[in-house]
Amino acid sequence: MIMTEKGMSIRLKVDEISVLSRNTQGVRLVKLDEGDKVAAVANIVPEEE
């Protein structure tokens, strides 16, 4: 989960993030508004049944 200073939160599954070759610039996980910054990144672990 990614949270921003302006209150946006994005929940992503790790296995859905693209894996690209080493000569790329990386993967954008969230598009921030102007002046916004990432405030926190949290690992959400599913509860065991």
Domain boundaries, the chain: 1-49
Widest Cα–Cα separation across the chain: 42
Digit-coded pLDDT (tens) for 3-43 = 999 999 999 888 888 776 666 677 788 899 999 999 999 99
Tokens of 25: 């610039």
| pTM recorded for the entire structure | 0.70
Question: Residue 49: which pLDDT band, with cuts at 50, 70 and 90?
Answer: low
Q: What CA–CA distance (Å, rounded) separates 10 from 27? A: 15
14: helix, coil or strand? helix
- Rg from Cα positions in the chain: 13
